[in-house]
Amino acid sequence: MTALRFGYGTNGLADHRLDEALEVIAGLGYTGVALTLDHQHLDPYAPGLTRRLAALRRRLTALGLAVVVETGARYLLDPWRKHGPTLLDTDPASRARRTDLLQRGIRIAADLEAEALSFWSGTPRPGTDPDHAHQLLIDGCAHLVDSAQRVGVRLGFEPEPGMLVADLDGWERLRDALGAPYAFGLTLDIGHCECVEDADPAGCVKRAAPWLVHVQIEDMRRGVHEHLEFGDGDIDFPPVLAALADHGYQGLVSVELPRHSHSGPDSARRSLDALRTASAHPWTVEAIRQVRADPGTITTLFPQAARRTGTGGDVVRAQLLQALTTDVPAVLGELYRHGDTAERLAVLRALPLLDQGGLVGGAALPLVADALRTNDVRLVTAAVGPYGARHLDQDAWRQAVLKCVFMGIPLDAVAGLARRTDAELVRMYAAFATERTAAQRPVPHDLQLHLDHRTGDGHAHP
């Protein structure tokens, strides 16, 4: 059995800038992101792709986010035709546009050290001979497999209801036609699971497990292809998640809610809460029950979380904190003051989740200030996360950023850097760089990058 890792799709945060979408995803406690290549996020056709990929890779590393690259943007290639063109287009020029996007995606996945590149077959144009469509798909996938194998990228082909390859039967036939190459893996959407007659998602997982490279998870009304708020459909999630863990699945389980960007952070938080509840260790379930019944028990249970569940403890401790309903800031203060470093980190890392749930507001700022007074890299890094970016005043925030520079903490770990950097912070950067140069000491590479990207208005662009 393996511990599952949860991610969130950027297509569910389409109204956010990419940097801020990643900040939300990491701040809520996800450990991965399903990154859809699209015009509003990582546009594979916009200038400066190499530079943007290098910056994105640093940002993902600093946030502790694994990544899967998705290629299902609706209108990236054709402003008139949703998801078009596809690998099945009989017009060679149109088909080449989809192939080019997927080849770019493979290179992007390699540069980002992504766990997989996910794609699908598409739907044949009216009048296309089915056998011809299948041959076009086989030929296109064969070229992609060759490219992926050369750079060490796993492909995650997704069966999609209504498309040429709609289910696991179709995927297996396609894999066999390609010679069952290692690079040709499977992306499984739990909401689709029309791969067996009874459409049992746990049974679907069991069948698909040997080839899985990515799992997408959301609910879908039975018989209607419509992604919904997580938990609002017919799927019983605990058996599905248990099946993934029992079969040793090590990839990302990514929430896919592309119609929920209007409520992105709230939907992401509720989804993660539901996933954690559905996959909770028995000790965690009982501990949450105890905290809800008697909040005072958290002072005993909080330190036990890592030992009792066999995990790092952060996730379980966040769930215990979310179970509190009264005096949350006071409890946080007590747990922080009396906790060891791991427990203090758990409190700090849970702050964005608690804040987004309306449980703390700015009342936890004294804990952030205390962490910033330390010389512990882990505590300082946690203190400059999304909660600090939201609640520290500008002067305190600038001082926190400069402390990161002094301590060698990557600036990519600082939440809110792009939107809060001002001329005064740039001046502080420049003064620090001047002092280092005068002392014949190297200027930190990431600081120099920020200075190099200054514009005429005195702002830096991370």
Residue 457's pLDDT is 41
Q: Looking at 233, 254, 278, which one is the last position of a domain? A: 278
Q: Are residues 267 and 329 in the same domain?
A: no
Number of domains in the chain: 2
Structure tokens at 13: 């945060």
Q: Given pLDDT bands bounded at 50, 70 and 90, which one contains residue 196?
A: low
**Residue 398 lies inside a defined structural domain of this protein:** no
DSSP 8-state secondary structure symbol assigned to residue 262: G
**Residue 418 lies inside a defined structural domain of this protein:** no
**Residue 446 lies inside a defined structural domain of this protein:** no
98 vs 12: CA distance, rounded Å: 23
CA angle 425–411–109, rounded 5-degree value: 140
* DSSP per position, 36-64: E--TTS--TTSS-HHHHHHHHHHHHHHHT
pLDDT tens digits, one per residue of 48-99? 999 999 999 999 999 999 999 999 999 999 999 999 999 999 999 999 999 9
| For range 26-32, the mean pLDDT | 96
Residue 458's pLDDT is 41
Q: How far is CA 425 from the centre of its chain?
A: 29
Residue 226's pLDDT is 43
Q: Residue 110 above 90 pLDDT?
A: yes
- Which region among 103-107, 259-263, 327-331 has the lowest average model confidence (pLDDT)? 259-263
- 2 vs 49, which has greater pLDDT? 49
| For range 422-427, the mean pLDDT | 94
Residues in the chain: 462
Q: Given pLDDT bands bounded at 50, 70 and 90, which one contains residue 445?
A: confident
Structural domain of 323: 282-385
pLDDT tens digits, one per residue of 240-256? 999 999 999 999 999 99
Q: Residue 453 above 80 pLDDT?
A: no
Q: Are residues 238 and 300 in the same domain?
A: no
| For range 298-306, the mean pLDDT | 97
pLDDT > 90: what percent of the chain? 84
14 vs 260: CA distance, rounded Å: 9
Q: Are residues 68 and 203 in the same domain?
A: yes
170 vs 164: CA distance, rounded Å: 8
Q: Are residues 238 and 327 in the same domain?
A: no
Q: At residue 65, what is the residue type?
A: L
Q: Looking at 220, 247, 278, which one is the last position of a domain? A: 278
Q: Residue 225 above 50 pLDDT?
A: no
> Phi first, then psi: what are they for 384, rounded to 5°?
-100, 25
Q: Are residues 49 and 89 in the same domain?
A: yes
Q: Which of 210, 226, 227, 208 is nearest to 218 (CA)?
A: 227
Residue 1's pLDDT is 55
Structure tokens at 444: 């930190």
- 3-state DSSP call for residue 442? coil
Residue 218's pLDDT is 77
Q: Looking at 332, 351, 385, which one is the last position of a domain? A: 385
Q: Are residues 272 and 288 in the same domain?
A: no
Q: Residue 197 above 70 pLDDT?
A: no
pLDDT tens digits, one per residue of 112-158? 999 999 999 999 999 999 999 999 999 999 999 999 999 999 999 99
Residue 203's pLDDT is 87
Q: Are residues 178 and 113 in the same domain?
A: yes
CATH code of the domain covering residue 225: 3.20.20.150
Q: At residue 455, what is the residue type?
A: T
DSSP 8-state secondary structure symbol assigned to residue 326: S
pTM, two decimals, is 0.91
**Beta pairing class for 212-217 and 184-189:** parallel
Q: Given pLDDT bands bounded at 50, 70 and 90, which one contains residue 261?
A: very high
Q: Given pLDDT bands bounded at 50, 70 and 90, which one contains residue 220?
A: very low
pLDDT tens digits, one per residue of 361-412? 999 999 999 999 999 999 999 999 999 999 999 999 999 999 999 999 999 9
